Amino acid sequence: DQTSLAYSVGITLDRFIKLKQSDFPFASGELSQLLRDIVLAAKIVNRETNRAGLANIGGAFGQTNVQGEEQQKLDVIANIRFMRALSKGGEVCAIVSEEEDAVIDLQNNSGKYVVAIDPLDGSSNIDVNISIGTIFSIYRRKSPIGSPIQLKDIMQPGREQVAAGYVLYGSSTMLVYTTGCGVNGFTYENSLGEFFLSHPDIQAPKTGNIYSINEGLQLEWEKGIAAYIQSCKERKMQSRYIGSLVADFHRNLLKGGIYLYPATQKNPSGKLRLLYEANALAFIIEQAGGKASDGKQRILDVQPESLHQRTPLLIGSAQMVEEVEQSVVLHS
Ligand code: AHG
Ligand code: MN
Ligand code: MN
Ligand code: MN
């Protein structure tokens, strides 16, 4: 029966947050509440993702976002759900979203936190029923609480994050997050509407046998990247590329591997966005013992210059990232 199921699958996210409350640098419960607000929206987006084909919410929304991408209906729906949850929660004063041109000031004058979010990652996979995700970063505001939002609240390097996480809407729905004290994974039990701890203290294998890159752009890679991928092929490594960053990242985090999105002609600074894709995953991978680099420096040390700036991203097992960085230097 459901009660025994609840106990047989471990502890709920709520119980875990309470247990870990003392880990939070600002143990006032607001960060816990903020995480709960995000999880509430994730449960709603999960349900809508699972019904997309039935509820006519698949397909294009009919507008282009600031990225120049054709927004999918679920991009827009997920964005609204997370913005609404964070606005109502009261803990967040400002949001940077992939789907919003400018910073959204929530007018929460008591809000101590800023959130950067990719509401739906892997949008090209929505209509073909392949895993998609949500990625989020959480910062403390730097300017006085209640004062107008300032650039220094928003343009913080990734090393300033107080928490980061992702939701993976896959064969099961998982939440993986860190508050700077390690990485923990939770699996959603639909029948109970709860996330249960399923992957405690995730450690990224130091090396791996999987590389993830869009081989279609091979002719555009810089020499160091091409040389590294060639060496992967000579070592008969496995090529695995889903086209949803969250899904590729999650597999490599658990099994060992490296995900690469280098500079290309179309995206000379890389395709992935620093504030709401690279920084969150970089915080998580480092907390799990892995690495994240733009080829020249640690992702978490990059000083943001603009909201939607892109970055090359090499992320995963520490030894594999170091190897690519060496190859880039050797061939530069
Ligand atoms: P988003 O759907 O949030 O815009 O992100 C898409 C990203 C990432 O999820 C994925 O790994 C990458 O784009 C795929 O890019 P290519 O199709 O160019 O390989
Ligand atoms: Mn997009
Ligand atoms: Mn994305
Ligand atoms: Mn997105």
Binding residues for substrate, by number, are: 121-124, 214, 241, 259-261, 271
Q: Atom 3, ligand 1: which residue's CA is nearest? A: 121
Buried b (16+ CB within 10 A) or exposed e, 240-276: bbbbbbbbbbbbbbbbbbbbbbbbbeebeebbbbbbb
Cα(8) to ligand 2 centroid in Å equals 38
pLDDT digits over 207-239, tens only? Answer: 999 999 999 999 999 999 999 999 999 999 999
Protein residues near ligand 2, an ion, with CB under 5 A: 69
Cα–Cα dist 99/125, whole Å = 17
* Confidence check: pLDDT of 269 > 50: yes
> Which residue blocks in the chain are alpha helix, DSSP H?
2-8, 13-20, 30-50, 73-89, 151-154, 223-234, 245-255, 279-287, 318-330
Q: Atom 18, ligand 1: which residue's CA is nearest? A: 214
**pLDDT level of residue 47 (50, 70, 90 thresholds):** very high
Binding residues, by number, are: 98, 118, 120-124, 214, 241, 259-261, 271, 277
- Asked if 273 contacts 118 with a C-beta cutoff of 8 angstroms, the reply is yes
Cα–Cα dist 129/170, whole Å = 9
**Ligand 1 touching residue 267 (CB < 6 A):** no
Q: Atom 15, ligand 1: which residue's CA is nearest? A: 243
Q: List residues bridging with 161 in a β-sheet.
A: none
Binding residues for Mg(2+), by number, are: 98, 118, 120-121, 277
Q: Indicate the top mutation candidate among 261, 274, 315 to test ligand 1's pocket, ranked by most ligand atoms within 8 A of CB.
A: 261
* Confidence check: pLDDT of 160 > 90: yes
Q: DSSP per residue over 261-324, as a string? A: E---SS-TT-SSBIIIIIHHHHHHHHHTT-EEESSSSBGGG----STT-B--EEEESHHHHHHH
User: Which of helix, strand or coil describes residue 332?
Assistant: coil
Cα–Cα dist 95/114, whole Å = 6
**Ligand 1 touching residue 123 (CB < 6 A):** yes
**Look-up: residue for tokens 């609480």?**
145
Amino acid symbol at 319? Q
pLDDT digits over 71-96, tens only? Answer: 999 999 999 999 999 999 999 999 99
Cα–Cα dist 296/298, whole Å = 7
pLDDT at 24: 57
The alpha carbon dihedral of 320, 325, 330, 332 has a sign of: positive
Cα(72) to ligand 4 centroid in Å equals 9
Ligand 1 atom closest to residue 246's alpha carbon, by position in its atom list: 9
pLDDT digits over 20-45, tens only? Answer: 776 655 556 888 899 999 999 999 99
**Ligand 1 touching residue 118 (CB < 6 A):** yes
Cα–Cα dist 97/117, whole Å = 5
* Rg (alpha carbons) of the chain, rounded to whole number: 19
Helix (H) / strand (E) element for 62: namely: strand 60-64
pLDDT at 6: 47
Cα–Cα dist 310/323, whole Å = 23
pLDDT digits over 299-318, tens only? Answer: 999 999 999 999 999 999 99
- Asked if 261 contacts 229 with a C-beta cutoff of 8 angstroms, the reply is no
Q: List residues bridging with 115 in a β-sheet.
A: 95, 138
Q: Atom 2, ligand 1: which residue's CA is nearest? A: 122
Cα(245) to ligand 1 centroid in Å equals 6
- The count of other CB atoms within 10 Å of the CB of residue 3 is 8
pLDDT at 27: 59
Q: What is the maximum span of the chain, computed from C-alpha positions, in angstroms?
A: 61
**Ligand 1 touching residue 271 (CB < 6 A):** yes
**pLDDT level of residue 55 (50, 70, 90 thresholds):** confident
Model-level pTM? 0.96
pLDDT digits over 166-213, tens only? Answer: 999 999 999 999 999 999 999 999 999 999 999 999 999 999 999 999
Cα(8) to ligand 3 centroid in Å equals 34
* Confidence check: pLDDT of 129 > 70: yes
Cα(45) to ligand 4 centroid in Å equals 13
pLDDT at 23: 62
